[in-house]
A and B are shown apart, each in its own frame.
Chain A
Amino acid sequence: MKRHVWRPLYVVIGLVAFILVFRFFYVPTDFGVQERGYTFGYHRLQNEQEWKDYPAKFKGSAYCAECHDENATSIAESGHGIIPCEDCHGAAFNHPEDPETLSIDRGRDLCLRCHSQLLMPSSQRNDLPGIDPTGHNAGIECADCHNPHNPSLEDM
């Protein structure tokens, strides 16, 4: 064959070789077909560990009770005992080291998430005590009258 045929062919072969070499160094060794097969499991295995190492922010009410045990026992007996501490007190992160104090949400909007009255016949929402946010002491914080840790109206 003549040289004008070979010359572009060398270019193509060179390109293919370059791509293969680049791929060899660029693609991690753990990348490939894993347990779930080619269709669903074609990935970089190390990424599973990376997701497992993602830092958790919420620590759970049991973690709070390790230090704040008096609060935990008294609140658990009240009507709000089912609410996790971190729902109002915010995520613990690395409390008590970082942050040293948590910013508590005492806002009216937080209470209204459950206690704004809506007619929801096929939901537990119907069983919760509810108010009309525009009619029931609008503009005042709920915590001014109600104790969030003991919402019983008799004890008010």
Chain B
Amino acid sequence: MMKRREFLKSAAVFVSGAAVSLSALELLDPHEVLAQNPELRWGFLVNTYNCVGCGMCVKACKIENDIPLEANVTRTWVERYVITKQGETYSDCPKGALNGFTSKQIDQNESGMKKIADADISEAFFVPKLCNQCSNPACVQVCPVGATYSTADGVVLVDRKWCIGCGYCIMGCPYGVRFFHPVEHTADKCTFCYHRISNGGNTACAQACPFGARQIGNLKDPNDPVTKAVLTERVGILREEFGTNPNVYYIGLSKEVR
């Protein structure tokens, strides 16, 4: 005859033991697991050595995405950095490099144009910039109406019908890639040419680049050239300390680049 105390004890042990083994044996739904680890995640690779600062990418982007050419806003741009032998850094980006870099004069805003003699230049390079399509996008978190969002394949988009134009996302982006669209009157940003890449194409900027300085790829595919480069070469990301986990990687990213 079992005592009541013993029965309760062994029942408690059995139930807790059974509960553990049941949770361990729970079958995973493959669809659910795949949804957490999608097959596709867009990433971008910029090779700063290959960039010659022609600005064809900026022009192509503006035409492709209907951003007025002369408006002082752009989804992508190219910065020039010149580092002197004395260790000073100068950078400029005239009109977002829409017309390329054709002059040795470096635009220093209110202090005017600065020309650095060739003999004083130690390093000089171009850095194309675009939306980093962050894995933890600050711009999305601050949207009060759910007008900007991250897709399952990792592209941050703006719903033009839903955007109220409050500008929080433009302030929230640590990279300054967002702007107010002068025609649509909504927030606007690089979409990685979502209409092109989703239909098997290349981004307009990467397609316009004669030197292969820009490449788009699937970071989930280990055989993709972009993924290979990200895994095997020395790549950098912009403003790592912000914890945004950007998906735009740079080859040859110098510490002077902000």
Interface residues in chain A, defined as those with a beta carbon under 8 Å from any beta carbon in chain B: 31, 34-36, 39-44, 47-48, 51-58, 60, 82-84, 86-87, 91, 109, 112-114, 116, 118-125, 128, 133
Closest to A93 in B: B63
Is the beta-carbon distance between A39 and B152 smaller than 8 angstroms?
Answer: no
Is the beta-carbon distance between A112 and B150 smaller than 8 angstroms?
Answer: no
Contact for A56 among B35, B64, B211, CB less than 8 A: B64
Is the beta-carbon distance between A36 and B102 smaller than 8 angstroms?
Answer: no
Enumerate chain A residues within 8 angstroms of B162, measured Cβ to Cβ. 43-44, 47
Contact for A120 among B100, B126, B254, CB less than 8 A: B126
A36 to chain B minimum Cβ distance, whole angstroms, is 5
Is the beta-carbon distance between B149 and A42 smaller than 8 angstroms?
Answer: yes
Closest to B104 in A: A118
Enumerate chain A residues within 8 angstroms of B159, measured Cβ to Cβ. 43-44, 47
Is the beta-carbon distance between A109 and B118 smaller than 8 angstroms?
Answer: no
Is the beta-carbon distance between B64 and A58 smaller than 8 angstroms?
Answer: yes
Query: Do A113 and B198 form a contact, CB below 8 Å, given A44-B161, A91-B63, A124-B49?
Result: no
Asked if B239 is at the interface (CB within 8 A of a chain A CB), the reply is: no
Is the beta-carbon distance between A123 and B49 smaller than 8 angstroms?
Answer: yes
The distance in angstroms between the C-alpha atoms of A58 and B206, with both chains bound, is 11
Asked if B114 is at the interface (CB within 8 A of a chain A CB), the reply is: no
Is the beta-carbon distance between B204 and A123 smaller than 8 angstroms?
Answer: no
B41 to chain A minimum Cβ distance, whole angstroms, is 12
Enumerate chain A residues within 8 angstroms of B125, measured Cβ to Cβ. 120, 122-123
Enumerate chain B residues within 8 angstroms of A133, measured Cβ to Cβ. 102-103
Q: 21 A-B Cβ contacts within 8 A?
A: A35-B38, A36-B150, A36-B152, A40-B141, A42-B146, A48-B151, A51-B194, A51-B198, A52-B199, A58-B64, A58-B207, A60-B202, A84-B208, A84-B210, A86-B207, A113-B53, A113-B56, A116-B102, A122-B124, A123-B124, A123-B125
Asked if B157 is at the interface (CB within 8 A of a chain A CB), the reply is: yes
Closest to A54 in B: B195
Query: Do A51 and B100 form a contact, CB below 8 Å, given A41-B149, A82-B210, A123-B51?
Result: no
Is the beta-carbon distance between A52 and B198 smaller than 8 angstroms?
Answer: yes
Enumerate chain B residues within 8 angstroms of A57, measured Cβ to Cβ. 63-64, 204
